[in-house]
Chains A and B, each alone.
Chain A
Amino acid sequence: MNFTAFEALLSHWRRRPLQLLTLVTGIALATALWSGVQAINAEARASYQRAASVLEQGALRQVVAKNGNGISIKTYAKLRRGGWDVSPVIEGLYRFGPVRIKLIGIEPLTMPQEGQIGSITTAADLPDFLSERGQLVVSADTALKLRGRTDMTIKVSDQVPEDAAILDISAADRLLRVKGKISRLVVAPEQRADVAPVERISPDVLVQESADRPDVSRLTDSFHLNLTAFGHLSFLVGLIIVYSAAGLTFEQRRGTFRTLRSLGISLPALTTMLVIELVTLALLSGFLGIILGYFLASTLMPGVATSLRSVYGATVSGALSIRSEWWVIGLLIALVGTAISSAQSLWRVWKLPLLAAAQPRAWVRASTKSVLLQSAVGCVLLALAMILGITSAGLVSGFGTLGCLLLGAALLLPGVLVIILSLAEPMSRAALSQWFWADTRLQLPGLSLALMALLLALSANIGVGTMVSSFRLTFIGWLDQRLAAELYVTAKDEDEAKRLREWLPRYSAAVLPIWSVEANIRGEHMQIFGVADHSTYRDHWPLIVADRYAWDMVALGKGALINEQLWRRGDAELGETIPMPGEWEATVVGVYSDYGNPSGQVIIGIDPLVAHYPDVPKLRYGIRVPPAEVPSLRQRLVTEFGLSEAAIIDQATLKQQSRAVFEQTFSVTGALNVLTLAIAGFAVFSSLLTLSGIRLPQLAPLWAMGIKRRNLALYEVFRTLALWLATFITAVPVGLSLAWVLLAIVNVEAFGWRLPMTIFPHDWLWLGAVALIAALMSVFVPVWRLATINPADLLRIFADER
């Protein structure tokens, strides 16, 4: 009996395959978006952890030089002889031809087990690792890049992140030419109990706790928060689809439920059947969703990896590994999502009076009270968003502002629409148009969820679009200013650089050195650049705030320019004196924009740079020549001077590369944006589908009164368009507010720079058009169904005793 009843329940799906598809798609999409984003985050975090443990021995304390200038071998020996179990690391960037690699030179003889290097350099490989020839331990991809570019042996290890190489400290010392200056000492977790404090043994060093170091996973938090926010938004929208689809199936089966109950199926048995049905559906769709999510994540992962690498310098592999928790969490999320969105419908079945009319209750949904309550909550959330927006200081509260803003606006939407419709209604004279407005208003509760989803998607699109476009505009303008030199060259060694310095002035207007050292300033590892005193900088280098004689002070060796990131973090103020590595001080005389750089940076004059850091590599130069002479100079450099083609890059190519990195950075955001919009479109579609099924009893009398089916269908189209337009208009201010929060709060926290907001109405038109097409497509099936409905079906409404 139960089996037959269950069969009867399930037969519904055979008759309504589209509904089944909607439900399955809803659950699958929600699961896919959620698990896809989680997978990307998990993969990236795993990468950071790997990188931190392998490259920086992240969990261990470190000894660093107080002046940021490196630790002498003498100090190292003193600490060891004083009983400290520390191990030296010499690290830095090195070019193998055009390939830039982060070298991490370790001492395998003293590196603590916990430093994670042990498994990379096994005892069997030590002779090669320590050999005079030297050995680089790198990832498979990096090994390919290095092929033919070094005489050192290359060993592949999947534990080493991209673009990094682990090698013996003596080889690193030799390649980086640091003459034994140790970058840092790794402190073993277990130390002799009675050992003297590090500072007492050597006053020029200090112990840094692992938590004191800025780590990449913290830097990238904002990026992941961003992704997670999108994941949650899409999940929410997906749930709305499930909610409307589940509601529909329950509404349409009320008759079946009553009949089954009347035939003696107990309420618990019926509920159990429905729960089994839902769980099965949830698991099946969840399974689909996980597969979908995996493909989504693996499609987006390379983009994510590139973004993280270019913006944060984080090394993340572009490949995605399947984790076991993936399946469990994915299925769980599908189950939970289905449970949440069908709880109301199940509850109604549980409370279904045996003898109540089985008529679908589209009318009952209209409730002024709930709209009022919803609007009130919306207002509170918007107020909260404003307060947070004004007082907000941190990244989390920035995203809090975003959340309150979006949710508040969404909750307010039905109320606003009701008001608009109420205003429109009295203005109509004809009975039919009055009916149209009243009917639209009554339908609002059934559609409001889908419209809210649409609003969320549209606002997110407008907001993120405005942010990205504003950023693009600023960034490209900044690139144009900053990349002023026509050609950029890199010498392969100091000898070639010296020859370049002698050769180039004969053929160019100016040769601008691009020299930098890496050092610790106020505990942060950063680059110090030197600039020549040249009009190129005075005229083109954009300064956000500056002392009047900033460039003169820099040229004199007294002033330093700092980047916006350093300035916004409050690490240094204009006019403040900062201690520079090597026991000297410089006054901050200006702040410059430095997009796309995760860490602080300082610019000083080229002469003071060479004076204070005589070992600075002098390999890179910008060359000013009249643009027309660029090709000939390039040619000359290769044929006459003998510089390799790969060592020369012109301005246009460099700009193009920078732009490509920029576009890549936001491609993931763009993709998620489109997906959210698509899902919202699907939500509208499924809601309209639901309503069209329920609303036949309301349309039948109109048809009976002589309105043609075609006209009824047209009214439906109008209604959809009107609601779409109202939602879209609402989305514009919400989206702009969103963009403001992103630019003024989230970006400053996440990247350390603030951008001017620019409005792009042109983009909205595109978005509006896309949304319009989505709305029209979503109304197409219900309208087509209505326009072609068999009159007998409409008649049956009256005949049907339901």
Chain B
Amino acid sequence: MNAKVLLAIVLVLTLTASIGHSQSNGFARLGSSAQGFKIPERGRSLSFPSDHGAHPDYRIEWWYVTANLEGEDGARYGAQWTLFRSALAPGVASGFADPQIWIGHAAVTTKSRQYIAERLSRGGVGQANVATNPFEAWIDDWTMKSFARAGADELDELLLRANGRDFRYSLTLRSKGPLVLQGDRGYSLKSASGQASYYYSQPFYQASGVIKVEGVEVVVSGQAWLDREWSSQPLASNQTGWDWFSLHFDNGEKLMLFRLRDNKDGFISANWIADDGKTTLISQNDIHLEPVRQAAVAGRTLPVAWRIQIPAYSLDITTRPLFDQAWMATKTPYWEGPIGFSGTATGVGYLEMTGY
């Protein structure tokens, strides 16, 4: 999930530069401003529910949900709910002096349209925050709220709500499996030089609820995936973007896979998640990833369909997007949309592509 670190950093950069320049001067500036923030340490065990909440001493953090849904009308939908935290300085303060910036992204994808919305807030005033016991992450009238029964993990059952100019949704997420700690018990190495983040997921949600687009309500149900990650690590300046996959196999297994693109061969990594939550890291040499179809999106050319091969798992699949133009035209624009796949296995998932 290196990819999302990058995304969060770019989001910080929206605040530091207009998009055209962010790639060149923004990264350099980032490197110097990392001081003062805490750095993830190997061996620190995550503790819940407190780690579901915010970590204001780390520079970046997010609560990231993607859902593959099917309507009663038989149509497929995608839904995204994201809350980013990005600190100008470590720590919190009350009132407008708080250095925490919150950014919300929400989207609904249909087979012919992408509906998006973006919200910004600063911390300290109550407009956006993440609370635990009971858990709620919110920005404005968007919310991700726990209704888990006592004793269960707070993220086991969530209510998810967001709206934009011409869409809204209200989803209920119920987990059918445990939290998944990524990397080494939640310590996720990001590069050979030791950069890392704390990272865990809940990929086992069953989702149901209502999506309303253009005034029409549709009852939907499907699967959802939540990612939680926080870090303070800047990234290498030669990295230009990434392609990231989260896949739900029809047999209940999950796969997380990404490729970081740089001026050399790039870096590919994957994590196989069994239906009981047991994870296996797959090394770069065991994965073969290649684009099979390009599409023109928002004045760029993006590989919207991919072939993924992992011989060790006898996996050879080809992904196809629900909608080619699943473009997030937010302050930092990127491609994020639901996909389906077929081949040696079938299922659905989400694809995210940035830096194109």
Interface residues of B in 100-158 (CB under 8 A from A): 101, 120-122, 125-127, 138, 140-141
A149 within 8 A of B: no
A123 touches B95 (CB 8 A): no
Give the contact stretch, choosing among A35-43, A73-81, A345-353.
Answer: A73-81
Is B331's CB within 8 Å of the partner chain A?
yes
Which residues on A sit within 8 Å (CB–CB) of B165?
190
Q: Which residue of B lies closest to A77 (CB)?
A: B126
Residues of A within 8 A of B95 (CB): 73, 170, 173, 179-180
Decide if A123 touches B18 in the complex (CB within 8 Å).
yes
With A109-B121, A127-B16, A173-B96 as known contacts, state yes or no: A80 contacts B140, CB within 8 Å.
yes
A127 CB contact (under 8 Å) in B15, B121, B331? B15
| Known contacts A76-B125, A76-B127, A107-B122; is-contact A180 B141 (Cβ 8 Å) | no
Q: In the complex, which residue of chain B has the Cβ closest to the Cβ of A174?
A: B97
Nearest A residue (CB) for B165: A190
**A124 in contact (CB, < 8 A):** yes
User: Taking the complex as formed, is A635 at the interface, i.e. its CB lies under 8 A from any CB of chain B?
Assistant: no
CB atoms of A77 and B125 under 8 A apart:
yes
Beta-carbon nearest neighbor of A129 in chain B: B15
Interface size class of A (residues with CB under 8 A): 20 to 34
What's the Cα separation between A83 and B117 when bound, in Å?
Answer: 13
Known contacts A169-B96, A192-B141; decide if A123 and B15 are in contact (CB<8 Å).
Answer: yes
Q: Does B39 have its Cβ within 8 Å of any Cβ on chain A?
A: no
Which of A76, A81, A192 is packed against the most chain B CB atoms within 10 Å? A81
B96 pairs with A81, CB closer than 8 A: no
B 155-193 binary contact with A (CB < 8 Å = 1; else 0): 000000001010000000000000000000000000000
The residue in chain B whose Cβ has the minimal distance to the Cβ of A190 is: B165
Interface string of A140-179 (1 = CB under 8 A from B): 0000000000000000000000000000111001100001
Q: Are A80 and B127 in contact (CB under 8 A)?
A: yes
Check B14 against A123 for contact (C-beta < 8 Å).
Answer: yes
Q: Does A132 contact B (CB under 8 A)?
A: yes
**A700–B17 alpha-carbon span in the complex (Å):** 88
CA distance A82 to B126 in the complex (A): 12
User: Is B89 positioned at the interface, with any CB of A under 8 Å from its CB?
Assistant: yes
Chain B residues within 8 Å of chain A by Cβ, number: 26
Judge whether B21 and A124 touch: CB under 8 Å: yes
> Inside 8 A of B331's CB, which chain A residues have their CB?
123
Cβ-based interface call for B255 (8 A): no
- The answer to whether B310 has its CB under 8 Å from any CB of chain A is no
Q: Which of A637-663 contact B (CB under 8 A)?
A: none
B96, B122, B140 pick with most chain A CB within 10 angstroms: B96
Docked CA distance A418–B287 (Å)? 112
Q: Which residues from A are CB-within-8-Å of B120? A: 109-110
Q: How far is the CB of B59 from chain A (nearest CB, A)?
A: 13
Contacts of B89 in A (CB 8 A): 132
Q: Does A126 contact B (CB under 8 A)?
A: yes
Contact between B18 and A81, CB atoms less than 8 A apart: no
Q: Does B88 have its Cβ within 8 Å of any Cβ on chain A? A: yes
Tell me if A81 and B97 are in contact (CB < 8 A).
no
Question: How many Å lie between the Cα of A76 and that of B99 in the bound state?
Answer: 18
Within 8 A of B (CB), among A31-80: 73-74, 76-77, 80
In the complex, the answer to whether A81 meets B127 with C-beta atoms within 8 Å is: yes
Q: Find out whether the CB atom of B141 lies under 8 angstroms from the CB atom of A131.
A: no
Please state if A73 and B18 are interface contacts (CB–CB under 8 Å): no
Contact B163 A124 (CB under 8 A): no
- A74–B96 touching, CB < 8 Å: no
Chain B residue numbers with a CB within 8 Å of A73 are 95-96, 125-126
Whether the pair B96, A83 counts as a contact (CB closer than 8 A) is no
A132 to B89, CA, bound (A): 9
Residues of chain A with a CB closer than 8 A to B127's CB: 76-77, 80-81, 110
Q: How far is the CB of B149 from chain A (nearest CB, A)?
A: 25
A130 an interface residue at 8 Å Cβ cutoff? Answer: yes
Q: Which residue of A lies closest to B98 (CB)?
A: A170
List which B7-24 residues lie within 8 A (CB) of chain A.
14-18, 21
Residues of chain A within 8 A (CB-CB) of B97 are: 170, 173-174
- Which one of A131, A168, A192 has the highest number of Cβ atoms from chain B below 10 Å of its Cβ? A192
Residues in A with CB closer than 8 Å to B21 are: 124
Query: Which of A110, A126, A130, A170: most chain B CB closer than 10 A?
Result: A170
Could you tell me if B18 and A80 are in contact, using CB atoms closer than 8 angstroms? Answer: no
Top 10 nearest A-B pairs by Cβ distance? A77-B126, A170-B96, A109-B120, A83-B141, A180-B95, A80-B127, A170-B97, A73-B125, A169-B96, A126-B15
Could you list some 23 contacts between A and B, CB below 8 A? A73-B125, A77-B125, A80-B121, A80-B140, A81-B141, A83-B140, A83-B141, A85-B140, A107-B96, A107-B122, A109-B101, A109-B122, A123-B15, A126-B15, A130-B15, A130-B88, A132-B99, A168-B96, A170-B96, A170-B97, A170-B98, A174-B97, A190-B165
Chain B residues with CB under 8 Å of chain A are 14-18, 21, 88-89, 95-99, 101, 120-122, 125-127, 138, 140-141, 163, 165, 331
Besides the known contacts A73-B96, A90-B96, A109-B120, 13 further A-B residue pairs in the complex with CB atoms under 8 A apart: A77-B125, A80-B140, A80-B141, A81-B126, A81-B140, A107-B122, A122-B18, A124-B18, A127-B16, A127-B88, A130-B15, A132-B99, A173-B96
